[in-house]
Amino acid sequence: MTVSTTSIVRPARVERPSLVRRILRSPLALVCILWLVGLVLASLTAPLWLHDGPLEQDLSVVMQGPSAAHLLGTDELGRDMLSRLVTAAAPTMLIALITPVVAMLVTIPVTLWAARTARAESVMNRVSEIVLSLPGTVIILAFIAAVGTDMPLVMAMFGLLLFGAMYKILFGQAASLHRQLFVEAAAIDGVRPMTASIRHVLPNMSETVIVQFVLLFGVGIGMQAGLAFIGLGPQPPEPTWGGMIQSASKFIFQQPWMMVPTGGILALTIIAANVLADILSGGVAVPPPLISLRRRRPSADAADRTSAAEAASAPASSADASSASTVAASVADRELVVRDLVIGVDGGPALVTGVSLRVAPGKVLGLVGESGCGKSVTSYATLGLLAPGLSVRSGSIRWGALDLATADEKALQRVRGHQIAFISQEPTRSLDPMFTIEWQLVAAIRRLRGVRRAEAKAIAARLLTDVGILDVPRVLGSYPHQISGGMAQRVAISLALAGTPSLLIADEPTTALDVTVQAEILDLLRGLIAERGMSVVLVTHDLGVVADLCDDVAVMYAGQIVETGTVRDVLMRPEHPYTMALLAADPHATIGGADPVRLASIPGQVPAPAAWPSGCRFIDRCRFAAAECASAVPLEPRAQGLGAVRCTRRDAVAGREEEWLAPAMVGGDA
Amino acid sequence: MVVFILKRAGFALLTLVVATAIAFVLVHWSGSSPGVVALGAGATPAEVHAYNVKLGWYDPWIVQYAHWVAQVVQGHLGTSLIDGRDIAADIAKRLPVTAALAVFGTIVSCAAGILMGIVAAVRGGLVDRVVTATAGILLSLPAFWVGVLLVYVFAVQLRLLPATGFVPFSTNPQAWVRSLVLPVLTIAITSAAGIARQTRASMAETLTKEHIRSLRALGTPTSRIIYIHALRGASLPILASIAIQFIVLFGGSVIIEVLFALPGIGQAMQAAVGSADLPFVQALVLVATLVVVVVNLALELLTRALDPKLRAA
């Protein structure tokens, strides 16, 4: 057989541990299987090892508790409960299997057929919807009224009625599998449709099918017991679990014990099936929330942490040109001073180490670097918005008299929105999709400015005009999905302005937008900064944006500040090889005014936090790297201008930025 | 909107026809004979035959079905084979009992389930694991067993509530409430677990959305984020699961009503099935399907009203 396109584009299966693996790895799953299989085996072999038959009456020991002679006690006719329960197990469980078997035998072929042909799909969608709307229990009862209590037949009918629900679950998956490249490729290869379905689609659905099968098995057992309980199952004296619970309930005043083994065995069996299905489906873990919603306890070590941070920051403080004097120097009002900030994954690596920044009132600081350098994490930390599992390990984030790194939730809430606002990089997704723009703006304005609804409405309209929206009434009445990305970013900015903040943190505010819209939003930001005298931290990887808007720049690489300074100094006379590389790779920022003949590409990628080199973290990608770069590099004052640079070979590399334009030596694709 | 409602109503009608036709076919292919049921085992074959002929039992089923539909449209559901009572009147008398059970059961399970789901999603960690495991176990427990255990605790041991029986609201409102507490609690336990699971999953998903971070950055209080924004974002799947639970409650009322001796629809169903009272079974299938269809229709309209993307479309 020749190599077919199918085999080429077919994805490698098993990204998650296989079903068998998942079962073997979970002791609980083994216990469940042991219970289910053991019960059936014990039941089938019951005549060999039970000394009391399930129908043997002994009226001298009626309704007894557990004893050596009758381990689970006796019922109202003196019959051994253990014997009756075990005897009933195999018929119950084997008949319960009929339900999932029938449901799957009907649903799977229909689903595969519907997933392949559009006509079948539209018909089967209707049919399944009708079946789904049938009152299952009542139809089953009607069925029993007609054909009697023939359990296998009843359970088969039940399986048939479950077609609606099963189709709904399986069809979505089958349809998306059919649209996958490897299945379409199989069709191009001339594989017959049904064969393609069975060979390529069915195996990928097997997990869902197995999980649903186990769940339905549990449902089948419950259904049988329920029917027996209301007297519509196998007739006495044949033992059934539901029937035994029913008679136990009649004698609850005389002997409540009878409820325990009868209901217990039924409950344990259904629990075993459901737990097994849960484990097979890979558990029911949910993703953690984006932000921590739990009240942050005033941490006992907050004080230690601050003092430790201040002690630790002493040697490095020379890096921050503004704070050469005392570390605990008071921070002016409306001034943000981040000092030696360390953020890490709880019980994991650090993501940001020793970041120091300063944003004076009315100034715009650009925070630059590739993705994965810790820019966003740093900006989240300034508002206490770190995701659960991340925390500030040391360092301080001074905002006036407050340290935002250690402030409690209450203090942070007074700052958020009122003094510091935030714009995210996903404008549309940053708005609540369920409420209109007006609702969201009015709610924020009322809360942040303490005004009445009518006034808030007026302010909302004014804010939207301020951010350059022309058709204000229409936008006010819109839901976020009804407006464009650029419009959404304007709305997000107006929301950020709702509390008249003095500092705006903008996390890549233009990244998700079209180029023309980017320019508009940047114009808007520039205007707002000039008008309102706000200071801004602008997180971006676009040096053109930095040149356009910022006063100062901090370049981050792998969780560290590698270079700071004024925009003019950093962009015109970069001293760190990484800054040089970024400039050479930027289509807008031309180095030294020369025509960019070609753009550089920086070979390799930002190392993961756990894999940072111990010396200079840029060592593996730097074309100027040498032996001395392997030892830790401190942040030292720039050669020219205010600011700092973290490079051992700064003197050797000075002025060599154009060398980045040469084709990359390693790893690059030039 | 009008087109949508008409379309869905048409579909609902189709579902009703399918459900009752299925019941009709089942009844007629079963080989049971209404004459035997109505006249008892003592009747002679000739008497049975005469009875069946009068009923039109030997006509093709489709003719009988058409006849039945014509009767239903005029509000006649026929009479019971057993005691000749008017089925429509009997169901009308029983419906309030089952409806009270389902409505109160849904209210209680919503309150408990949504709260449990929110707590699990927001607190996470150990709380989440405990709530999830508890919900998983409660979902697996057979309702009738839970019911008997509740009877044992509250009626036998504590003597706080009556074990079984029903008092109409008009007779004694207080006794009416007392007679419904245990049945409602019984059905609420299972369905609260189902709603809790759905709430937890949807809430947790909404809490990973970007706008939650933006809200927090604006200083929105935690309670507002959870109960207004996240709950609203998670509301549609939760609503769907509530509708499902309501339907399940209505169907499950058979067992609950038998267990607690409540004179509702479910009890009538059990009796009718047990005695092969075919016209009664037929009528109850119609009523049960009507409930499902109406709940589903209400859910769809509500979803349309609540989902901004559907409302705009």
pLDDT per residue as tens digits for the range B219-268: 999 999 999 999 999 999 999 999 988 988 888 888 999 999 999 999 99
Same domain (yes/no): A301, A261: no
Q: Quick one: pLDDT at residue A336?
A: 93
Same domain (yes/no): A441, A404: no
A64: in domain: no
Q: Tell me which residue of B239, B261, B284 sits closest to B167, measured CA to CA.
A: B261
- The CA distance from B191 to B238, in Å, is 12
Q: Quick one: pLDDT at residue A668?
A: 36
* Share above pLDDT 70 across residues of chain B, in percent, rounded to a whole number: 99
A172: in domain: yes
For residue A218, give the nearest of B140, B156, B219 by CB distance. B140
A35: in domain: yes
ipTM for the whole complex: 0.90
Asked if B268 has any chain A CB less than 8 Å from its own CB, the reply is no
Mean pLDDT confidence for A4-24: 54
Q: Identify the residue with better confidence: A584 or A431.
A: A431
Predicted structure pTM score:
0.85
Q: Quick one: pLDDT at residue B312?
A: 61
pLDDT per residue as tens digits for the range A163-192: 999 998 899 888 888 777 777 777 777 777
Q: Which two tokens stand for residue A201?
A: 């689609």
Asked if B172 has any chain A CB less than 8 Å from its own CB, the reply is no
Mean pLDDT confidence for A37-46: 92
Same domain (yes/no): A87, A168: yes
A544: in domain: yes
Q: Quick one: pLDDT at residue A368?
A: 92
Mean pLDDT confidence for A394-420: 91
What is the interface size between A and B, counted as CB pairs within 8 Å? 264
Same domain (yes/no): A340, A433: no
Does A415 sit within 8 Å of B259, measured CB to CB? Answer: no
- The CA distance from B142 to A244, in Å, is 13
Indicate the pairing of strand A560-566 with strand A402-403: unpaired
Same domain (yes/no): A251, A228: yes
Residues 6 or more apart in contact with residue A352 via CB below 8 angstroms: A341, A342, A343, A344, A374, A377, A378, A381, A559, A560
Does B139 sit within 8 Å of A274, measured CB to CB? Answer: yes
Does A286 sit within 8 Å of B121, measured CB to CB? Answer: yes
Same domain (yes/no): A86, A217: yes
- The CA distance from A309 to A643, in Å, is 21
Mean pLDDT rounded to a whole number for chain A: 84
Indicate the pairing of strand A535-540 with strand A364-368: parallel
A287: in domain: no
Is-contact A397 A352, C-beta < 8 A? no
DSSP string over B259-276: HHT--SHHHHHHHHHHTT
A498: in domain: yes
Q: Tell me which residue of A348, A408, A351 sits closest to A378, measured CA to CA.
A: A351
Q: Quick one: pLDDT at residue A544?
A: 86
CATH of the domain at A538: 3.40.50.300
Q: Quick one: pLDDT at residue A441?
A: 96
Same domain (yes/no): A275, A311: no
A559: in domain: no
Query: Strand pairing partners for A538?
Result: A366, A506
pLDDT per residue as tens digits for the range B39-51: 877 788 888 888 8
Weakest mean pLDDT among A20-24, A208-212, A393-397: A20-24
Q: Quick one: pLDDT at residue A194?
A: 74
Mutant choice from B29, B118, B148 vs A, greatest count of A C-beta within 10 A: B148
Nearest chain A alpha carbon to B261: A230
CA-based nearest distance B219→chain A, Å: 5
- The CA distance from A201 to A666, in Å, is 42
**Total of domains in chain A:** 4
Chain A hits for B210, Cβ within 8 Å: 290, 424, 426, 429-430
Residue A560 — very low, low, confident or very high, per pLDDT cuts 50/70/90?
Answer: very high
Q: Domain containing A480: what range?
A: 422-549
Does B270 sit within 8 Å of A291, measured CB to CB? Answer: no
Nearest chain B alpha carbon to A447: B220
Q: Quick one: pLDDT at residue A308?
A: 43
Q: Quick one: pLDDT at residue B313?
A: 56
Q: Rounded to whole angstroms, what are the CA distances from A359 to A16, A292, A317, A404?
A: 46, 26, 16, 14
Does B132 sit within 8 Å of A284, measured CB to CB? Answer: yes
Same domain (yes/no): A97, A233: yes
Which strands, in side-by-side order, build the sheet including A390-399?
A350-359, A336-345, A390-399, A402-403
Same domain (yes/no): A212, A306: no
Indicate if the pLDDT at residue B92 is higher than 90.
yes
Same domain (yes/no): A87, A232: yes
Asked if B118 has any chain A CB less than 8 Å from its own CB, the reply is no
Indicate if the pLDDT at residue A10 is higher than 50.
no
Residue A550 — very low, low, confident or very high, per pLDDT cuts 50/70/90?
Answer: very high
- The CA distance from B289 to B286, in Å, is 5
Same domain (yes/no): A181, A274: yes
Asked if A485 has any chain B CB less than 8 Å from its own CB, the reply is no
A3: in domain: no
Indicate if the pLDDT at residue A399 is higher than 60.
yes
pLDDT per residue as tens digits for the range B142-192: 988 999 999 999 988 888 888 888 888 888 999 999 999 999 999 999 899
- Domain end, chosen from A212, A245, A280, is at A280
Mean pLDDT confidence for A495-516: 90
Q: Identify the residue with better confidence: A415 or A655.
A: A415
Residue A116 — very low, low, confident or very high, per pLDDT cuts 50/70/90?
Answer: confident
- The CA distance from B282 to B81, in Å, is 12
Does B252 sit within 8 Å of A267, measured CB to CB? Answer: no
Mean pLDDT confidence for A143-153: 87
Does A256 sit within 8 Å of B11, measured CB to CB? Answer: no
Is-contact B157 B72, C-beta < 8 A? no
For residue B211, give the nearest of A222, A430, A505 by CB distance. A430
- Amino acid symbol at A548: D
- The CA distance from B246 to B229, in Å, is 25
pLDDT per residue as tens digits for the range A233-264: 888 788 899 999 988 888 888 888 888 999 99
Same domain (yes/no): A242, A323: no
Q: Quick one: pLDDT at residue A667?
A: 39
Mean pLDDT confidence for A608-622: 88
